[in-house]
Amino acid sequence: MSGFVFSEKPIPIERGEGAYLYDEDGNEYLDMGASYACVPLGHGHPAITEAVTEQFERLTYVQASYPNAARTALYERLAETAPDPIDKVWLCNSGTEANEAALKFARAATGESKLVATMQGFHGRTMGSLATTWKSKYKEPYEPLIGDVEFVPYDDADALAEAVDDDTAGVIVEPVQGEGGINPASTEYLRAAREVTEDAGAALIFDEVQTGMGRTGALWNCQRAGITPDIITSAKGLANGLPMGATLCRDWIAENYGSHASTFSGGPVVSAAAGATVQTVIEDGVADNAAAMGEYLQSELEAALGDEVREVRGEGLLVGVEVGRGANRALKELAMNHGVLALPAGRTVVRLLPPLTVDEAHVDEVVDAMEAVVT
Ligand code: PLP
């Protein structure tokens, strides 16, 4: 038997420590993808290991209908750190499930069905989230998906205002598009999105699966824009490597959520991991480090790569280097010749999203590698 979904890379990874991964021969790799943004605190962080081990020994799993201290502590921590007045949370196991719930909640709370999503957006691969994802290559073999989804150009407030009407249940948007090529939305656009959805009585859903947990320089990206959506979705780094998703929402959404649930919603072990992750991100000022190191990374890349690349862009430690058609070749060379593991964002962009705990020495290492590969 062999797996058949993800194509395998020829580097058998055995262990991880901080920002580095090690293969079976002991070769070291700088994990500039943070394993798909799933380890904001780096690999093997002691606070997470301790929380998980302690909880595993005490109680591995109990269904969500029984209160459990690890889950309750996580609810409280998320409510404390979410922007007011978001104080309700539903837990699940992945980003697509968090978005699936958000779309269902928006429909149930408004009684409407129309969903508005953005071109180049990515929200996951289950049938509902997939219907709001832009690229046809992800969708075509599985159609028909759920209907009533209108796509609008990203970062275009006028187009959004035209699409949102009284029949709209929700607007789903990434404040910085990840998979779509690392495209940050302007603050004006995000504020306009807040206004038009409020006027229409529709739910504004911020997909913060990739931007959350401090990655863009604030715990939640919406805090940078100074707005509070109706729903924020989170996953990836939420439990620093364990599978967890969360759908955070305002009261009017939570009060009318319909009937939605999941067996593994917030099991004690993943809840303990997520609680320790959120606490460490806050206490260690991880979002501030992401802001400072993101600025340093972007300016060093611009200085080193100059006109050799089309653009360096991003927010915090979610950075894209637009290298043109050679993105896959660059990624291969980075891995095989320079011990740097990065990710693509479409066919033309090298995506850098390291653990948020990296320092200047890590940044210098990746900038040297990018310079060697690109110039
Ligand atoms: N939303 C965004 C913005 C993502 O980047 C992703 C995954 O890359 C998802 C949703 C889906 O998350 P998952 O793969 O955990 O289902």
Structural domain ending residue among the three candidates 265, 283, 301: 283
Q: What is the CATH number of the domain that holds 297?
A: 3.90.1150.10
Q: What is the 8-class DSSP label of residue 83?
A: P
Are 31 and 53 part of one and the same domain?
A: no
Domain-embedded: residue 6: no
Contact 30, 42 (CB under 8 A): no
Are 162 and 296 part of one and the same domain?
A: no
Are 345 and 312 part of one and the same domain?
A: yes
Among 5, 91, 96, the mutation site with the greatest number of ligand 1 atoms within 8 A of its Cβ is 96
Q: 256 in helix, strand or coil?
A: coil
Query: pLDDT category, 78, cuts 50, 70, 90?
Result: very high
Structure tokens, 226: 């100074």
The predicted structure's pLDDT at residue 353: 97
Separation between Cα atoms, residue 348 and residue 205, nearest integer Å: 28
Q: Given a cut of 90, is residue 132 above it in pLDDT?
A: yes
Domain-embedded: residue 62: yes
The predicted structure's pLDDT at residue 8: 78
The predicted structure's pLDDT at residue 346: 87
Distance 208 CA to ligand 1 centre (A): 9
Distance 124 CA to ligand 1 centre (A): 5
Separation between Cα atoms, residue 195 and residue 187, nearest integer Å: 12
Q: Is the CB of 121 under 6 A from ligand 1?
A: no
pLDDT tens digits, 35-52 = 999 999 999 999 999 999
Are 321 and 271 part of one and the same domain?
A: no
Q: Given a cut of 90, is residue 10 above it in pLDDT?
A: no
The predicted structure's pLDDT at residue 324: 85
The predicted structure's pLDDT at residue 247: 98
Contact 39, 31 (CB under 8 A): yes
Structural domain ending residue among the three candidates 250, 283, 316: 283
Q: Helices H, strands E: what count in the chain? A: 14, 17
The predicted structure's pLDDT at residue 7: 74
The predicted structure's pLDDT at residue 246: 98
Separation between Cα atoms, residue 59 and residue 61, nearest integer Å: 6
Instruction: Say what the alpha-carbon torsion angle 103, 105, 106, 108 is, to the nearest 10 degrees.
Output: 120
Are 224 and 293 part of one and the same domain?
A: no
Q: Is the CB of 247 under 6 A from ligand 1?
A: no
Distance 58 CA to ligand 1 centre (A): 31
Mean pLDDT of 265-273: 97
Are 253 and 364 part of one and the same domain?
A: no
Domain-embedded: residue 2: no
Contact 154, 121 (CB under 8 A): yes
Mean pLDDT of 26-43: 97
Domain-embedded: residue 7: no
- The answer to whether the Cα torsion of 102, 108, 111, 113 is positive or negative is positive
Q: Is the CB of 180 under 6 A from ligand 1?
A: no
pTM: 0.98
Domain-embedded: residue 8: no
Mean pLDDT of all residues in the chain? 96
Domain-embedded: residue 4: no
Distance 234 CA to ligand 1 centre (A): 9
pLDDT tens digits, 101-121 = 999 999 999 999 999 999 999
The predicted structure's pLDDT at residue 2: 80
Q: Is the CB of 174 under 6 A from ligand 1?
A: yes
Structural domain ending residue among the three candidates 283, 308, 330: 283
Mean pLDDT of 69-76: 97
Query: pLDDT category, 298, cuts 50, 70, 90?
Result: very high
Structure tokens, 286: 């991880």
Are 98 and 246 part of one and the same domain?
A: yes
Q: Which of these, 120, 117, 129, lies nearest to 92 by C-alpha position?
A: 129
Distance 181 CA to ligand 1 centre (A): 14
Separation between Cα atoms, residue 35 and residue 301, nearest integer Å: 21
Could you give the strand order of the β-sheet that contains 343-344, starting from the edge strand earlier in sequence? 311-315, 318-322, 349-352, 343-344
Structure tokens, 262: 């999941």
Beta bridge partners of 232: 206, 248
Q: What is the CATH number of the domain that holds 134?
A: 3.40.640.10
Are 105 and 126 part of one and the same domain?
A: yes
- How many CA atoms lie less than 13 Å away from 92 in the CB half-sphere? 21
The predicted structure's pLDDT at residue 245: 98
pLDDT tens digits, 207-237 = 999 999 999 999 999 999 999 999 999 999 9
Query: pLDDT category, 151, cuts 50, 70, 90?
Result: very high
Are 69 and 165 part of one and the same domain?
A: yes
Q: Given a cut of 90, is residue 76 above it in pLDDT?
A: yes
Q: Given a cut of 90, is residue 325 above it in pLDDT?
A: no
Listed as own residue / partner, the contacts of 278-282 with beta carbons closer than 8 Å and 24 or more positions apart are 278/74, 278/77, 278/78, 278/81, 278/213, 278/238, 279/47, 279/77, 280/41, 280/45, 280/47, 280/48, 281/40, 281/41, 281/213, 281/214, 281/219, 281/356, 282/81, 282/219
Distance 307 CA to ligand 1 centre (A): 32
Domain that holds residue 174: 46-283
Are 125 and 264 part of one and the same domain?
A: yes
Q: Given a cut of 80, is residue 320 above it in pLDDT?
A: yes
Among 99, 173, 236, 318, the mutation site with the greatest number of ligand 1 atoms within 8 A of its Cβ is 236
* Total number of domains constituting the chain: 2
The predicted structure's pLDDT at residue 85: 96
Domain-embedded: residue 5: no
Domain-embedded: residue 3: no
Q: Given a cut of 80, is residue 318 above it in pLDDT?
A: yes
Are 271 and 299 part of one and the same domain?
A: no
- The answer to whether the Cα torsion of 102, 107, 108, 109 is positive or negative is positive
Separation between Cα atoms, residue 331 and residue 121, nearest integer Å: 23
Percentage of residues in the chain having pLDDT higher than 70: 100
Residue where the block lists tokens 């996951």:
124
Are 147 and 242 part of one and the same domain?
A: yes
Q: Which of these, 177, 178, 199, lies nearest to 186 by C-alpha position?
A: 177
